[in-house]
Amino acid sequence: LMGFVGFANLPNQVHRKSVRKGFQFTAMVVGESGLGKSTLINTLFNTTLYPPKETLPPSAERPSTVAIESISADIEESGVRLRLTVVDTPGFGDFVNNDECWRPIVENIEARFDSYLEQENRVNRQKIMDNRIHACLYFIQPTGHALKPIDVEVMRQLHTRVNLIPIIAKADTLTDEEVAEFKARILADIAHHNIHIFQAPTYENEDDEAIAEAEEIASKIPFAVVGSDKEVTTPDGRKVRGRAYPWGVVEVDNEDHCDFVKLRQMLVRTYMEELREYTNTVLYENWRTEKLLSMGV
Ligand code: GDP
Ligand code: MG
């Protein structure tokens, strides 16, 4: 077996901050069609979840995602249960009219808020299912230039409703230098357009190691990721998850090659609790207030 650390092998630190009972964490992937969203989900879960490869003709590519669908896995770590869900969305560009391509996504996020509110209003609030989106991975095409108008538009529609985490898709198609320049440009564009992305908080009373880890992760945003659910062999004979090129292999789990490991670490370890907290106390509360005001309550 390969030495990947999938969601199924979460390090113990996940539960560092909270979590006595079972809880839910839900991430969503958003972005243009063909940027590797479905592939990254499979990479995160460390398995080919859909479609079953056998049913595809040998040459077939992964079919494009046509509906919002979610994949869940129950994880148990040190006696703590975690239900992890990733919501896959159809990419923009799959529709004739992309003007309001963000609408079904926003509706989905808000429907989850609605469901939570409805549960909170019940007499018996013992068993609330938290299906709210705690993190939204926004995939940016690796053009090496700048954010596209559609990215700006979609992120602006989403940033008040969800923790946005920008990601450079298919980073294996850029050189290290191009990635570094593109990251700086993306951050500048995001600031210029007043888009709010998830800010990783740091705590003064944390130990040095935790602060160093947090700063390291923050420095990688927007994460440059490579997804692959295939095993390839490196020139020195190691079997790894990655993508093979005539000039070599780009390894998914190698931090010198891409930021996949850091992204996963942020989601399931370092900032899972902060992502849940911000969703609950800021994003959900703002939505709730707006909704009540609009109803004249
Ligand atoms: P989606 O439409 O965003 O869900 O994209 P898919 O996951 O269906 O992937 C679209 C195509 O891009 C497939 O042929 C994948 O094999 C390929 N792909 C996925 N991730 C990567 C990546 O990190 N790098 C490269 N070069 N190709 C990728
Ligand atoms: Mg897809």
State how far Cα 209 lies from the chain centre.
24
Q: What is the pLDDT of residues 206-225, one digit of tens each?
A: 788 888 888 889 899 999 99
pTM (2 d.p.):
0.87
Amino acid identity of 103?
R
Predicted local distance difference test score (pLDDT) of residue 213: 83
**Which pLDDT band, with edges at 50, 70 and 90, does 83 fall under?**
confident
**Which pLDDT band, with edges at 50, 70 and 90, does 137 fall under?**
very high
Please work out whether the CB of residue 242 comes within 6 Å of at least one atom of ligand 1: no
- Asked whether 182 and 168 are in contact (CB, 8 A), the reply is yes
Mean of all residue pLDDT scores within the chain: 84
> What ranges in 138-248 are assigned the alpha helix state H?
149-158, 176-192, 208-218
- Asked whether 197 and 166 are in contact (CB, 8 A), the reply is yes
- Ligand nearest the Cα atom of residue 93: 1
Please work out whether the CB of residue 93 comes within 6 Å of at least one atom of ligand 1: no
Average pLDDT, stretch 28-49?
85
Burial class of residue 66 (count of CB atoms within 10 Å of its CB; 0-12, 13-18, 19+): exposed
Residue nearest ligand 1's atom 6 by CA: 36
Over 90: is that where the pLDDT of 132 sits? Answer: yes
Cα gap 10→20, rounded to integer Å: 16
Predicted local distance difference test score (pLDDT) of residue 268: 79
Cα gap 105→117, rounded to integer Å: 19
170 C-alpha vs ligand 2 centroid, how far in Å?
14
Please work out whether the CB of residue 42 comes within 6 Å of at least one atom of ligand 1: no
Over 70: is that where the pLDDT of 51 sits? Answer: no
90-94, 120-124, 237-241: the lowest-pLDDT one: 90-94
Looking at residue 54, what DSSP letter applies?
G
95-109, 139-153, 155-169: the lowest-pLDDT one: 95-109
Instruction: Identify which has the larger pLDDT, 95 or 199.
Output: 199
Predicted local distance difference test score (pLDDT) of residue 95: 59
Residue nearest ligand 1's atom 25 by CA: 170
Cα gap 197→162, rounded to integer Å: 9
Token digits of residue 133: 């989106």
Q: What is the ipTM of this complex?
A: 0.99
Over 70: is that where the pLDDT of 15 sits? Answer: no
Pairing of strands 231-233, 135-140: unpaired
289 C-alpha vs ligand 2 centroid, how far in Å?
34
**Which pLDDT band, with edges at 50, 70 and 90, does 21 fall under?**
low
> Phi and psi (nearest 5°) for 83?
-100, 115
Q: What percent of the chain lies above the pLDDT cut of 70?
A: 81
Cα gap 63→86, rounded to integer Å: 18
Q: Which of 121, 83, 122, 87 shows the shortest CA–CA distance to 104?
A: 87
Residue nearest ligand 1's atom 24 by CA: 170
Pairing of strands 164-168, 69-77: unpaired
Over 60: is that where the pLDDT of 49 sits? Answer: no
Q: What is the pLDDT of residues 265-284, one digit of tens each?
A: 888 778 888 999 999 999 99
Cα gap 83→12, rounded to integer Å: 16
71 C-alpha vs ligand 2 centroid, how far in Å?
12
48-52, 97-101, 148-152, 254-258: the lowest-pLDDT one: 48-52
